[in-house]
C-alpha cells in the first residue's frame, strides 16, 4: 500500500492550457452556470426543515450567478457592463442595478427566468457614486424592480448603454432593458 508521503512525492500538478474567449466559450460558461442553477433550484424545493442546507444552496446559486456575470459580462471585451456612468474620471465598480441577492430570490420564486437573471442590468459606477449609493441606503435594495434606475435618482448622474445609447432613467423599464439587450447573447 502506498503511503501518504509516497503519494504526495509522486504527485505532478497538471498544467491546463488557457482558452481564448470566444462566442463558444461564453456560451459554454453560460450553459454550465444555467445547468448548475437549474439543479440547485430543483434541490432547493426538495429540502425540508434544514435552514442551513437552504442557505448553502442559495450560496451555490449566488456563485453561479456571479461566475456568469464576471465571465460573460464584466470581463467580456467591449461590454464590461450593460451601462456606464457618463463622465466618471476615477476607478469604477461593477454594480448590479438589481442587487444580486434580490436577483437570486426572484429566480428562486420563479418571477424571472435564468436567462433574465443572466441579463439583469449591470453598471460600471464610479467608486464615489457607489459609496454614495450605499450611504443613501441602497446597498442591497431598490425602490423599484421594474424601473431599476430609480435606485440612482439620489446620485444625479447620466447613464449610457455600453453601445452608447443615452437612456431616460426615469422611464427606462426592465422590459426596455431586456428588449435593448436581447441582441447581446450572453
Average confidence (pLDDT) over 12-36: 93
**Whole-angstrom Cα distance, residue 143 to residue 91?**
26
H helix intervals, 10-78: 23-44, 51-68
For residues 90 and 39, give the distance between their C-alpha atoms in angstroms, rounded to a whole number: 40
pLDDT at 88: 82
117's CB contacts (< 8 A; 6+ apart) are 37, 65, 103, 104, 106, 107
Residue keyed to cell 426572484? 106
Q: What is this structure's pTM?
A: 0.88
Predicted pLDDT at 74:
85
Using alpha carbons, list the distances in angstroms from residue 44 to 35, 47, 52, 69, 120: 14, 6, 11, 22, 22
Cα–Cα distances in angstroms (integers) from residue 138 to residues 82, 144, 170, in the given order: 19, 11, 17
- Per-domain residue ranges of the chain: 24-181
The Cα-based distances of 113 to 54, 73, 104, 176 in angstroms read 20, 18, 10, 16
Q: How buried is 73 (Cβ within 10 angstroms: 0-12 exposed, 13-18 middle, 19+ buried)?
A: buried
| Confidence at residue 182, expressed as pLDDT on a 0 to 100 scale | 82
- Taking only the tens place, the pLDDT of each residue in 96-142 is 999 899 999 999 999 999 999 999 999 999 999 999 999 999 888 88
pLDDT value at residue 184: 63
**Predicted local confidence at residue 68, as pLDDT:** 94
Percent of the chain with pLDDT over 70: 98
Q: Quote the DSSP letter at residue 72.
A: I
Interatomic CA distance for residues 179 and 186, integer angstroms: 14
How far apart are alpha carbons 177 and 69 in whole angstroms? 16
What is the predicted pLDDT for the residue at 139?
A: 86
User: Which of 4-8, 47-51, 92-96 is the least confident region?
Assistant: 92-96
- Is pLDDT at 89 greater than 80 in this prediction? no
Q: For residues 94 and 124, give the distance between their C-alpha atoms in angstroms, rounded to a whole number.
A: 5
> Which of 67-71, 101-105, 170-174, 180-184 has the weakest average pLDDT?
180-184
Contact present, 167 and 159 (Cβ < 8 Å): yes
Looking at residues 146-173, what average pLDDT do you find? 93
pLDDT at 78: 78
Q: Reply yes or no on whether the pLDDT at 77 is more than 80.
A: no
At 79, the pLDDT band (50, 70, 90 cuts) reads confident
pLDDT at position 115 is 93
Amino acid at each position: 500500500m502506498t503511503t501518504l508521503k509516497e503519494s504526495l512525492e509522486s504527485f505532478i500538478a497538471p498544467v491546463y492550457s488557457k482558452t481564448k474567449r470566444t462566442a463558444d466559450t461564453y456560451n459554454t460558461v453560460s450553459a454550465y452556470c444555467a445547468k448548475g442553477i437549474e439543479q440547485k433550484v430543483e434541490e432547493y424545493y426538495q429540502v425540508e426543515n434544514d435552514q442551513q442546507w437552504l442557505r448553502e444552496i442559495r450560496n451555490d446559486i449566488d456563485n453561479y450567478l456571479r461566475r456568469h456575470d464576471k465571465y460573460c459580462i464584466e470581463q467580456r471585451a467591449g461590454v464590461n457592463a450593460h451601462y456606464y456612468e457618463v463622465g466618471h474620471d476615477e476607478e469604477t465598480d461593477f454594480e448590479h442595478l438589481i442587487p444580486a441577492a434580490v436577483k437570486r430570490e426572484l429566480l428562486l420564486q420563479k418571477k424571472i427566468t435564468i436567462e433574465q437573471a443572466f441579463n439583469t442590468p449591470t453598471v460600471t459606477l464610479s467608486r464615489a457614486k457607489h459609496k454614495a449609493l450605499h450611504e443613501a441606503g441602497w446597498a442591497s435594495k431598490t425602490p423599484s424592480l421594474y424601473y431599476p434606475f430609480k435606485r440612482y435618482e439620489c446620485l444625479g448622474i447620466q447613464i449610457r448603454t455600453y453601445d452608447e445609447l443615452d437612456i431616460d432613467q426615469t422611464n427606462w423599464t426592465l422590459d426596455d432593458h431586456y428588449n435593448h439587450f436581447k441582441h447581446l447573447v450572453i
